[in-house]
Chains A and B, each alone.
Chain A
Amino acid sequence: MTALTAKPWVWSFAAAILVWVITVLFTGGSSSVGLSQATLTFAAFSVIVGIGQMFVITLGPGNIDLSVPATMTLSGTLALKVMDVQDSMIALGLLIAILVGVAIGIGNYALIKLLRIPPIIATLSMSFIVQSCAIWTNRGLRIKPPETLSDFTTSYSFGVPNVALVALVLSLAAWFLLEKTTYGRWISAIGQSSFAARMAGIPVDGTRFITYVLCAVLAAVAGYLLASFSGGAALNMGAEYLLMSIAVVVIGGTAVAGGNSNVPGIWGASLFMFLVVSMLNTYGFGAGVRLILTGLIIIAVILAAGGRRVAR
């Protein structure tokens, strides 16, 4: 039990389960299946962008990717435009989305490394360029996703939403990368002390470069899925996911100062973030109260998780 409460991610799951129970109580239990499915569906998108952001934040103080929303918008817009409602183009669309992610990731790191711009500024300026490209590509017109792809993203396998299964596969890969590979050790080492990491012979620049590309690619994939799920790309479709991607990382128990991260927490936090809004909507709170309560609840969860770590 102590071993379990010592894990920083336990708190986000505990909070998610608590909020789920309170929400379901409103209807006496009849909403449990519907709410669970909706939660898994929408948490999936936050999980995918959250994992990318988590890798970047793990790199240590100052590392953050603010180009996530613009990347989602551009990859969704471009992929749907290229696919143009044809089922045969689905794979090509995914490839385009991934390439968009790779290009933006390279661009981000080029600004950070070559021009020595701090990541927060570099990725923000990159996001303006990317967002303008998205506007220029299609001027905000919505193109429908191919039928098969849209069916896939909106349906269920064994009662579990397909997008949640995709997020699960990506999470397992991320967990493996973080815990079982040299690369995972390297980013943790860089996050704890980039100077020590460099002295130990770790290729710091190469590792950071790969991490920024990885984050952009995950955001691009999330954009591709979200655009297919919601029936077309919109210019503001990524806006929700900037703060979301950072919030799920922090609530999930990843150290904001870097060097220590975990994948399960991203899931707990993503489920929690969707459920909190649903709970407050269900109980009929107005927008003002809802935002205040959301803030307070998030602070409470972070304090609970952080407090344990101090006590340990």
Chain B
Amino acid sequence: MTIKRMLLASIAIACVTAPVSASAETADKKIALSNNYAGNSWRQAMLTSWDKITKDAVSQGIVAAADPFTTAENQATEQAAQIQNLILQGYDAIVINAASPTALNGAVKEACDAGIVVVSFDGIVTEPCAWRIAVDFKAMGESQIEYLAEKMPDGGNLLEIRGLAGVSVDDEIHAGIQAGVEKHPQFKIAGSVNGDWAQDVAQRAVAGILPSLPEIKAVVTQGGDGYGAAQAFAAADRPIPTIVMGNREDELRWWKEQKDANGYETMSVSIAPGVSTLAFWVAQQILDGQDVKKELVVPFLRIDQDNLEANLETTEAGGVANVEYSLEDAQKVIDAAM
């Protein structure tokens, strides 16, 4: 009990004394990553990037610690409890990939009230006291239709593969695709399935609807589902349409094979898992006393016909095309928002 009390006391002292030295130095600051899910290759790449960049930062003495924490069950309640623990453990900043945009607001507010900097990314939180590094998912959806409109001016039937029903990212990308189709009415969404951002689920859903569909000119996707769609088309002996890919290595490799064999053309778009490292640097900059806008935008990572090979080379076999951000990149993003 006394030890616990001493610990709490020392944390309290640390909290009280911290703001005094905050203006230029972050060497004694501790940053935590609160992550809601680790069960797919994108999240694994995200954690690996975090590990790589923050280990360097810690060994160079830029920050004192940068510990990642992942919840087991992808539940907002569990993550809220985790954030409360992180508050008690005396972290100076918490970087969050949130299970829900709204359900964590209470816990986030508690953290803010305790003087902790909260930066959310990818899965952002709406609580006004937190910073948000958002991706313009709607633009990501719309860019797919823009690309197709340029490539096939006559238009045609589209198959849309959506993500996980009920998740805000899915709604936003879908809204972008719909906006694109309204602008280019020569395209018609002939069928829509949920692929849950997973190859095998997408393959299963596409195989089920494909026999009932007319000729499909292109498949618009949300990432992680392109290769499964390609396999379903091949299994049904249908001509392969233009499938928009989502930066996974197997998708890119398949695209490369098709490109070499018959000049297949498409594009690939997703967010780089390394966005976690951008969030880390933004948190570090805020702790350093920099003036940072609450709303930041991170560009999505797009791969086209001409830079396919270059991206394929730098992507780990079986992984996801990735970019890790440096302190300078973060400063650029911060300045761009000013």
**How far, in angstroms, from A230 to B251 measured CA to CA in the complex?**
12
Q: Name A's B-contacting residues (CB within 8 A).
A: 23, 26-27, 31-35, 38-39, 41-42, 128, 131, 135, 138-144, 154, 226, 229-232, 234-237, 239-240, 274-275, 277-278, 281-282, 284, 286-288, 291
A235 touches B41 (CB 8 A): yes
CB distance from A43 to the nearest CB of B (A): 10
Q: Is the interface of A mostly helix, strand, loop or mixed?
A: helix
**How far, in angstroms, from A26 to B201 measured CA to CA in the complex?**
23
B198 touches A144 (CB 8 A): no
CB distance from B113 to the nearest CB of A (A): 33
A135 touches B44 (CB 8 A): yes
**How far, in angstroms, from A48 to B112 measured CA to CA in the complex?**
50
Contacts A39-B208, A278-B208, A284-B192 known; 19 new A-B pairs at CB < 8 A: A38-B208, A38-B211, A42-B207, A139-B44, A140-B40, A140-B41, A140-B318, A141-B44, A142-B248, A231-B227, A234-B41, A234-B199, A235-B44, A274-B204, A281-B205, A281-B209, A287-B166, A287-B194, A291-B165
B212 touches A23 (CB 8 A): yes
B: contact size bracket: 35 or more
CB distance from A81 to the nearest CB of B (A): 10
Contacts of B72 in A (CB 8 A): 128
B337 in the interface, Cβ–Cβ < 8 Å? no
B12 in the interface, Cβ–Cβ < 8 Å? no
Contacts of A41 in B (CB 8 A): 207, 235
User: Which residue of A is nearest B254, CB measured?
Assistant: A231
Contacts of A142 in B (CB 8 A): 41, 248-250, 318
List the count of A-B residue pairs having beta carbons below 8 Å apart: 121
CB distance from B231 to the nearest CB of A (A): 6
**How far, in angstroms, from A34 to B208 measured CA to CA in the complex?**
9
Contacts of A131 in B (CB 8 A): 39
**How far, in angstroms, from A41 to B248 measured CA to CA in the complex?**
25
B165 touches A35 (CB 8 A): no
B106 in the interface, Cβ–Cβ < 8 Å? no
B318 touches A288 (CB 8 A): no
Partner of B203, one of A230, A274, A288: A230
Jot down 10 A-B pairs with beta carbons below 8 A, ordered by A.
A27-B211, A140-B45, A141-B41, A230-B203, A234-B40, A234-B200, A235-B38, A235-B40, A235-B41, A236-B40
A281 touches B208 (CB 8 A): yes
Q: Is the interface of B mostly helix, strand, loop or mixed?
A: helix
Contacts of B200 in A (CB 8 A): 226, 229-230, 234, 237, 240
User: Which residue of A is nearest B198, CB measured?
Assistant: A236
**How far, in angstroms, from A282 to B205 measured CA to CA in the complex?**
10
**How far, in angstroms, from A229 to B208 measured CA to CA in the complex?**
16
**How far, in angstroms, from A240 to B196 measured CA to CA in the complex?**
10
Partner of B191, one of A32, A284, A287: A284
Contacts of A226 in B (CB 8 A): 200
**How far, in angstroms, from A1 to B111 measured CA to CA in the complex?**
68
Contacts of A274 in B (CB 8 A): 204, 208
Contacts of B193 in A (CB 8 A): 281
CB distance from B82 to the nearest CB of A (A): 16
Contacts of B134 in A (CB 8 A): none
**How far, in angstroms, from A227 to B91 measured CA to CA in the complex?**
41
**How far, in angstroms, from A35 to B191 measured CA to CA in the complex?**
15
A34 touches B205 (CB 8 A): no
Partner of A139, one of B48, B165, B203, B236: B48
**How far, in angstroms, from A143 to B72 measured CA to CA in the complex?**
25
**How far, in angstroms, from A150 to B66 measured CA to CA in the complex?**
42
**The 3 nearest A-B residue pairs measured at CB:** A34-B211, A278-B208, A141-B318
B317 in the interface, Cβ–Cβ < 8 Å? yes
Contacts of B191 in A (CB 8 A): 281-282, 284
B45 touches A281 (CB 8 A): no
**B168-218 contacts to A (CB < 8 Å):** 191-194, 196, 198-201, 203-205, 207-212
**How far, in angstroms, from A278 to B209 measured CA to CA in the complex?**
5
